[in-house]
Amino acid sequence: MKRRQFITLLGGAVTWPLAARAQQPAKVPTIGFLGAATQLSWTQWTAAFVQRLRELGWVEGSTVRIEYRWAEGSGVRAAETVAEFVRMKVDVIVTTGAVILSSKAMRAFSSIPTVFATASDPVGNGLVASLTRPGGNITGLSNQQSEIATKRLELLHEVVPGLRRLGVIVNADNPAAMLDSSEVASAAGTLGLTALTAEIRGSGDISPAFDVFKDDIQALYVCSDFLTYTLRIGINTFAHVARLPTIYGEREQPEAGGLMSYGPNFPNLFRRAADFVDKILRGTKPADLPVEQPTKFDLVINLTTAKALGLKIPESFLLRADEVIE
């Protein structure tokens, strides 16, 4: 073989692998999506998140990969999932503040950029250093649940004449929910109500909780939390038997038979969470993304439940509602 031919072949052998590597597609980023409850119960929220991602140019299965996992109300399962996401080396995690706190896996979350789509008092619970400067590797959206406890009680007072004794159900394993129950007790005192609290940690605690209340309460406040959200049908069933009006923080609760809810629009929070993810995937650090707060709160009432309880809802109240379920 002539020397010139050998050099040409050798050059081709070196160049070809380099060209092949250059043509390899870029790595598709992976989002670890950890839902607090069940896949079915989060359908609307997940759809809102994915739709917004698409609007921002992130198409699932094409330009981004999403790994879905469901804690189903279990802090242990949430912690196991976070460990799995760490092993998978996902680029960003999307979940809720309650899951982060209850999973007792803050250190694992801090190792991966994390966006909470909803959180109650993220500063007070230690998720972030401040709303404007989160610091660390976690940021997201506050739902202001505990801050609107007084408003919820005022609404409940409007539809339950002569309300004086209030029952409160709270997940004792969730610091955010416990803070909410504390705010409820304080607000109840301000409004001249007596509050009786029952703590739960699982589905088996629902019946004992209502045994605590017995006939001593006239209405029920359920602290927003991934566990009470997961158990909403069971809680509503016991409330119906006890003929107790209920108020929640999410619209899905009256959709499942509860009386009413007042809280932020959760599909919109998940849409905004997608904006956070977009910025992080494009290079922005979570510490540089201020925590956002909701600007709109929805009032939802189940008129069928109200009629079953013998409550006559004022027309003025119904006109203020964002949704009336009949």
Number of domains into which the chain is organized: 2
Would you say residue 2 lies in a domain? no
**DSSP string spanning 58-111?**
--BTTTBEEEEEE-TT-HHHHHHHHHHHHHHT-SEEEE-HHHHHHTT-HHHHHT
Do 127 and 215 lie in one domain? The reply is: no
For 240-255, the pLDDT digits (tens) are 999 999 999 988 899 9
Would you say residue 18 lies in a domain? no
When pLDDT is averaged across residues 208-229 and rounded to a whole number, the result is 91
| Run of H or E residues at 303 | helix 303-308
Contact 108, 84 (CB under 8 A): no
Do 67 and 159 lie in one domain? The reply is: no
Do 136 and 183 lie in one domain? The reply is: no
Do 93 and 110 lie in one domain? The reply is: yes
Confidence label for 72 from pLDDT (cuts 50, 70 and 90): confident
Do 156 and 258 lie in one domain? The reply is: yes
- What's the domain range around 213? 146-264+298-325
Predicted TM-score (pTM) of the model is: 0.79
Do 67 and 122 lie in one domain? The reply is: yes
The domain that holds 101 is classified in CATH as: 3.40.50.2300
Q: What is the pLDDT of residue 31?
A: 98
In the predicted model, is pLDDT for residue 97 greater than 50? yes
In the predicted model, is pLDDT for residue 17 greater than 80? no
Do 227 and 269 lie in one domain? The reply is: no
